[in-house]
Amino acid sequence: MAPVAVSIAPGVMYFPGYLDRAAQEALRETVRAVLAEAPLYHARMPKTGKPLSVRMSNCGALGWVSDETGYRYQPGHPETGRPWPPIPAFLLAV
């Protein structure tokens, strides 16, 4: 039986019960593994270099980054220089 969607804001849907406890724990560990390879960092505003208020990371061939030179997609982490880890299959299946 498909979970019932609950609209919590325009364009935002909540699916209570979509992931059971085991799936939620697997999702948490999957995200932790991505962050171990591509740690959270503060993107910065174009021109001013002022840090954004959130930390972020990416996975997949290209990740969204922002710094003094502008917004763009690039193949590697802006601080470590390492390639972004692949998107885990678990995330694509959820």
Is pLDDT at 71 greater than 90 in this prediction? yes
Q: What is the CATH number for 32?
A: 2.60.120.590
User: Is 69 a member of any domain?
Assistant: yes
The verdict on residue 14 lying in a domain is no
Is 91 or 71 the better-scoring residue by pLDDT? 71
Q: Count the helix, strand and coil residues of the chain and give each as a percent rounded to the nearest 5.
A: 25, 30, 45
Q: Domain limits at 72? A: 19-93
pLDDT at residue 2 is higher than 70: no
Provide the 8-state DSSP code for 34: H
The residue that leads in pLDDT, 65 or 92, is 65
Flag whether 5 is in a domain: no
Q: What is the mean pLDDT of residues 56-85?
A: 96
Would 10 be classed as within a structural domain?
A: no
Q: How far apart are CA 62 and CA 59, in angstroms?
A: 7
Mean pLDDT of the region 12-35: 93
- What pLDDT was estimated at residue 91? 85
C-alpha to C-alpha distances, 6 to 9, 10, 13, 18, 21, nearest whole angstrom: 9, 11, 6, 12, 20
Q: How many domains does the chain have?
A: 1
